[in-house]
Structure 1
Amino acid sequence: MKKRPMVFAALALLLVLLSSCGKQADETLPVTEISSETEAVKETTEEENETAEEEMEETLPEGLCRSYLTGKVVSEAIGRRRPIAVMLSNVRAAVPQSGIGKADVIYEAPTEGNTVRLMGIFEDWDSLDKIGSMRSARTYYVLLQHEFNPIFVHYGQCNYALDYIDTDNCDNLNGVLGIGETVFYRTDDRPKPHNAYASAAGITAGAEKMGYSWQYAEDYTGHYQFVKDGEVPELTGASAANFVKPGYSSNTPLFTYDSESGEYYRSQYGEPQIDDTTGEQLSCRNILFQYCEYEHYYDTEYLYIYVMGEGAGKYITDGKAIDVTWKKDGDWGITRYYDTNGNEIKLNQGKTWVCIIQTEKAENVEIYE
């Protein structure tokens, strides 16, 4: 009988020990939970800081901004004013063009008769007394000009383009309408239709007469992405591109890379392509090839080039070329260009030349060292 208290004491001691262990186990759980919460907060904070750094806007001196067209620092009076998009003839009888050296972006695309026509996008054009020679618009050019929110300057159009021009998406100055006498003039040094020109003063007066605003649309944020100062584009898988031929048979253009300046100098018709006003050869920092499907309007020679949708292409800069994919959402979307990893490409700061090339003629493209 005297042994029972010892048994009870042993049992009591065991219960105390078990209770103590359970209590310690319970007390350790919150430590783990706190550690996880702290780590999660730490990770979230780091992500937020990275996002904040990426979204931090560049601070520039008062009165300056980044150009939507070149990515360079320019006066706000120029860079935050809508540009002009000008249709330019490029047949042999119309060259050299005047004022074209001031264009920040140039589009080149086929037209009927196996010719090509140009469209220049200008932001600094106030000093130009002679821009041209001017030619008529085509449907796909109307869709492309809209991507820059410009005032569109053209001397007529094919009938099929009218439905696109006569919309809120195209503030335009048309040489064959009443506004033409305000904006355009003809010279006597070339035969029609290669002698129609516009001046900065005429364009300004025409825009005022039409009631157009020079302010960008509130939702416009630009077309291209550009690298920051001192940076270069990522060109993974690039091939050499010192000489570049888009393959147009009518004007046989050639871009030749100059490593010292980083520019591609343009030739066509077997000679340097110059601005008639300055005598200087045209050049650009970036070249984009955009391969597009096309068809003819009914039984005519007029082309309908599918610049909307998506397709393949090339981005060429710094003596190198990479494959890209282009995408344009609907008629009035903005064309974006992506590398083989699906990332939107960033261009070098400077001028850009875009060649619209029929997909079936992509085999005529030549890019070599």
Structure 2
Amino acid sequence: MKKWLFIFILLLIVLASAGGFWLTKKEDSTPPPPEQPVEENPVPTTPFTGEVMDLTTTGRPVMAVVNNHPDARPQTGLAEADIIFEMIAEFNITRFVALYQSEDPNKIGPIRSARDYFVELAIAYDAFFVAHGYSPDAREMLESGVVDHVNGMQYDGTLFQRSTDRIAPHNSYITKENITKAMDNAQTSTEYKGQSPYYFYDSMQNDKLNEQALSIRVEYGTNELFYSDFLYNSQSQLYSRSVNGVVMADKETFETIKVSNVLVFEAQHETIDSKGRQSIDLSSGGEALLFQAGGVREIEWNSVNGMLVPFMDGEVVKLMPGKTWIHIVPTDPGIEQSVSYTP
């Protein structure tokens, strides 16, 4: 009896061992999960230029309204802007809205009055807004506190200084130091909390564009004083801007204004008063042209949380690293009549 019991126990041990072996073989036969590629830490870049970020360039954007009247030229501080939006302020007179984040100019100006669509851009880009004066609609928005701002109407002669070589309203300037003071006075955040909607190529290489465009003209109405000309330099891969044959340069530093990307967005405009002020639809999107690397591409633009972004086939179009000039032109007469270019 003991002999049979011993044999029975031994058999159980053998079967258990075999079962474990089969289980082990089954588990071992399952293919391991594929190894995930180890991603290198990406080099941090500035949100609006796609260039390598300096540790000091993480601050909140500043958006300033800069005068483009002939009596306000040449301007100061535009060479440092990451993005310059050019659009109509009244009739066919354009004005610049300059976005600063990666660089801080020592002085900006001449500063000019706000429009409601300028304020909308500042809100969307989480920017501290700088202007001197306002339209009725813009004043209502600013006084309601929708955006952190400083205005020369309240600080003329203190934070804003008048130059003596020009007459008002073409002579109001603000310094980097006084913008910092204004932000302190407003007790507002100095850190950038937004998220840039723009994508950039990793280098100066980009997708091959269908058509060459080395010289560009953007027109507003029939007033040649507000025509913009851009000339592409194949060595620097940058566009220089000129008006009436005069190359645009900084009044203080003489630095030429150069950008990596020129965008033209078509938007619905409507004249709303006898002074020629406009209502501009910056939310519906529309037809667009992208000029970069000496070429041109027909695209469209869309509003992404209020920010103006180039798209193609439902995807964001990449920009060349560097600064960008964005024109907003009316749907009437339209982008085809407002823009011309030559190879």
TM-score bucket (shorter structure): 0.7 to 0.9
Alignment match, 2:190: 214
Out of 120, 130, 133, the residue aligned to residue 156 of structure 1 is: 133
Alignment match, 2:321: 349
Partners of 1:313 and 1:163 lie apart in 2 by: 31
Alignment match, 1:257: 232
Alignment match, 2:20: none
1:330-345 to 2 correspondences below 5 Å: 333-339=306-312, 341-345=313-317
TM-score normalised by structure 2 residue count? 0.84
Once the two structures are superposed, what CA deviation does each residue of 1:240-267 show, in whole Å capped at 9, x if it has no partner?
A: 1101111123322100000010000100
TM-score normalised by structure 1 residue count? 0.78
Larger Rg: 1
Q: Does residue 174 of the first structure (1) align with residue 151 of the second (2)?
A: yes
- What is the Cα deviation at residue 335 of structure 1? 2.4
Q: Which has the higher helix share?
A: 1
Query: Which range moved further: 115-124 or 138-147?
Result: 138-147
Out of 70, 78, 85, the residue aligned to residue 49 of structure 2 is: 70
Once the two structures are superposed, what CA deviation does each residue of 1:199-237 show, in whole Å capped at 9, x if it has no partner?
A: 0111111110111110122xx221311111x3633355x
Instruction: Give the CA RMSD over aligned residues.
Output: 2.4
| Distance of aligned partners of 1:231 and 1:360 in 2 relative to their CA distance in 1, 3 Å threshold | same
| Distance of aligned partners of 1:173 and 1:194 in 2 relative to their CA distance in 1, 3 Å threshold | same
For 2:266, the aligned partner's letter is: Y
Contact kept in structure 1, 2:77 and 2:105, CA below 8 Å: no
- What is the Cα deviation at residue 145 of structure 1? 2.6
- What is the Cα deviation at residue 270 of structure 1? 2.4
Partners of 2:308 and 2:144 lie apart in 1 by: 20
Partners of 2:171 and 2:197 lie apart in 1 by: 32
Q: Does residue 364 of the first structure (1) align with residue 338 of the second (2)?
A: yes
For 2:71, the aligned partner's letter is: A
Alignment match, 1:8: none
Paired residue total: 311
Query: Which range moved further: 142-151 or 86-95?
Result: 142-151
User: Secondary structure of 1:144's match?
Assistant: helix
User: Secondary structure of 2:85's match?
Assistant: strand
- What is the Cα deviation at residue 59 of structure 1? 3.9
Once the two structures are superposed, what CA deviation does each residue of 1:3-48 show, in whole Å capped at 9, x if it has no partner?
A: xxxxxxxxxxxxxxxxxxxxxxxxxxxxxxx9xxx89x97xx59xx
- What is the Cα deviation at residue 164 of structure 1? 3.2
1:34-73 to 2 correspondences below 5 Å: 49=36, 56=39, 58-60=41-43, 65-73=44-52
| Distance of aligned partners of 1:204 and 1:232 in 2 relative to their CA distance in 1, 3 Å threshold | same
Ranges in structure 2 where 5+ consecutive residues have no aligned partner: 1-25
Out of 297, 317, 336, the residue aligned to residue 322 of structure 1 is: 297
